[in-house]
């Protein structure tokens, strides 16, 4: 049996007709930049996430970049980021001449640790730290109540990196909230492998403040308002019409796909338990309840952890099972960020995650037969 890491062919088969119809309409209008499809998608996202303002942009990376620009982050500033994340989280801070200040993650969730954030801020009071970027990694929300309390205490802005977590719900003090809606700006990616995926690069930012939304819209067009008059230095961060058209077709199915992901994750848990593997591998954190509400995981990836990760991966490869390592190095060990002065050993939880985590095959339509085969292959390895 062959089981890939990801297979979206069934998703496309079901939606191929509507997607092609939408794209054909875009081609017929010959309007490819900031047209009716972008506006339609932005409105639908606002309805879905219960947020007043959504601004389509060119990628998840550009969503982070434009968010930081809109908040005035630049040279001399510092921004707290988790040491365990995709490179863009820290890279966008560095691109603006600001300093990424790294903190360790909670090994149970792989999300930024509020205790580490607080300790960092206490230690670096003299530095001009202006913001925090909590990443809702793999589809599970960070402890945002703690993040918000810290941000208020230290007068910091929060930019939520929700690239992997669209639709994830968090049981905040004020009630259930969606990832990306609990801060000044939330950032999303619609890269082709994401839970809501485009046919190329695409992203989006959301916010609650009308003036900030207006600034974000201006910045995505080179700071231009009105046409050919530039009040700020922005960039070409526009979401194109074809990607917006594809996403508009897919968005109504996201809730169903999320439910299917959760069902598949539950099945993996049952199979790992039945196979007696719970003491051999660490499974993803389960959704937990707080104040009668649930912190829901949307499982962008199903990531396990084992000290024998590399050997297990080699075995699964021989069994024709696709896997991936997210991420093999902490940001503090990346060559491009060595100038920051961090060294191996600075963030032990990040380093353990980097050395032990492994993403298994996972997508909404994955068959139970395929999941059983994956777990059986893992059991064979540990037998």
Which residues make Cβ contacts (< 8 Å) with residue 54, sequence separation at least 6? Answer: 41, 42, 43, 45, 46, 204, 205, 206
Residue range 254-382, CATH number: 3.90.1150.10
Using 50, 70 and 90 to split pLDDT, how confident is the model at 210? very high
Q: Do the first three CATH levels of 9-103+111-252 and 254-382 match, i.e. the same topology?
A: no
Strand 185-189 versus strand 203-207 pairing type: antiparallel
- Evaluate if residue 298 carries a pLDDT over 90: yes
The per-residue pLDDT for 171 is: 87
Contact between 164 and 138 (Cβ < 8 Å): yes
Question: Is the Cα torsion angle 329, 330, 333, 335 positive or negative in sign?
Answer: positive
Using 50, 70 and 90 to split pLDDT, how confident is the model at 185? very high
**pLDDT tens-digit map of 347-372:** 999 999 999 999 999 999 999 999 99
Q: What is the mean pLDDT of residues 161-169?
A: 97
**pLDDT tens-digit map of 258-286:** 999 999 999 999 999 999 999 999 999 87
- Evaluate if residue 125 carries a pLDDT over 80: no
Contact between 93 and 68 (Cβ < 8 Å): yes
**pLDDT tens-digit map of 88-123:** 999 999 999 999 999 999 999 999 999 999 999 998
**pLDDT tens-digit map of 53-70:** 999 999 999 999 999 999
Give, for 123, the enclosing helix (H) or strand (E).
helix 114-123
Report the distance separating Cα 66 and Cα 55, nearest Å: 10
- Evaluate if residue 159 carries a pLDDT over 70: yes
- Evaluate if residue 292 carries a pLDDT over 90: no
Which residues make Cβ contacts (< 8 Å) with residue 205, sequence separation at least 6? Answer: 54, 55, 57, 63, 66, 67, 185, 186, 187, 188, 216
The per-residue pLDDT for 173 is: 80
- Evaluate if residue 35 carries a pLDDT over 70: yes
Strand 293-295 versus strand 288-290 pairing type: antiparallel
Q: What mean pLDDT is reported for the chain?
A: 95
- Evaluate if residue 294 carries a pLDDT over 70: no
- pTM of structure: 0.96
What secondary structure does DSSP assign to 132-159, as a single string?
E--B-GGG----HHHHHHHHHHHT-EEE
Structure tokens at 146: 């703690």
The per-residue pLDDT for 175 is: 83
So where are the chain's domains? 9-103+111-252, 254-382
Q: What is the mean pLDDT of residues 318-342?
A: 98
Residue range 9-103+111-252, CATH number: 3.40.640.10
With residues binned 3-state (H G I as helix, E B as strand, rest as coil), the percentages for the chain, rounded to 5, are 45, 20, 40
- Evaluate if residue 6 carries a pLDDT over 90: yes
Backbone angles phi, psi at 10, to 5 degrees: -65, -40
DSSP-H helix ranges across 197-253: 210-219, 241-250
């Amino acid at each position: 049996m062959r089981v890939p890491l990801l297979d979206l062919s069934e998703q496309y088969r079901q939606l191929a007709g509507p997607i092609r119809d939408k794209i054909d309409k875009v081609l017929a209008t010959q309007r490819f930049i900031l047209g009716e499809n972008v506006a339609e998608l932005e409105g639908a996202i606002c309805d879905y996430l219960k947020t007043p303002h959504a601004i389509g942009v060119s990628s998840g990376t550009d969503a982070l970049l434009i968010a930081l620009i809109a908040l005035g982050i630049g040279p001399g500033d510092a921004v707290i980021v988790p040491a365990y994340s995709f490179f863009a989280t820290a890279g966008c801070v560095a691109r603006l001449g600001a300093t990424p200040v790294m903190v360790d993650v909670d090994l149970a969730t792989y999300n930024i640790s509020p205790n580490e954030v607080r300790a960092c801020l206490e230690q670096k009071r003299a530095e001009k730290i202006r913001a925090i970027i909590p990443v809702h990694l793999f589809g599970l929300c960070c402890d945002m109540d703690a993040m918000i309390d810290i941000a208020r205490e230290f007068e910091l802005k929060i930019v939520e990196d929700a690239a992997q977590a669209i639709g994830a719900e968090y049981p905040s003090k004020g009630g259930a909230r969606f990832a990306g809606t609990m801060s000044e700006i939330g950032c999303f990616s619609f890269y082709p492998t994401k839970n809501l995926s485009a046919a190329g690069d695409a992203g989006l930012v959301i916010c609650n403040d009308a003036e900030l939304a207006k600034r974000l819209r201006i910045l995505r067009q080179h700071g231009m308002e009105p046409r050919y008059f530039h009040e700020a230095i922005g960039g070409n961060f526009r979401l194109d019409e074809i990607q917006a058209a594809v996403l508009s077709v897919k968005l109504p199915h996201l809730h169903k796909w999320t439910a299917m992901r959760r069902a598949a994750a539950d099945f993996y848990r049952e199979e790992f338990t039945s196979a007696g593997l719970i003491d051999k591998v660490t499974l993803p954190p389960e959704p937990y309840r707080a104040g009668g509400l649930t912190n829901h995981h949307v499982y962008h990836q199903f990531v396990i952890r084992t000290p024998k990760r590399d050997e297990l991966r080699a075995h699964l490869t021989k069994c024709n099972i696709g896997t991936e390592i997210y991420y093999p190095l902490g940001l503090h060990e990346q060559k491009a960020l060595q100038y920051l002065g961090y060294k191996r050993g600075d963030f032990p939880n990040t380093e353990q995650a980097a050395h032990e985590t492994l993403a298994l095959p996972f997508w909404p339509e994955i068959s139970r037969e395929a999941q059983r085969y994956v777990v059986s292959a893992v059991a064979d390895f540990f037998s």
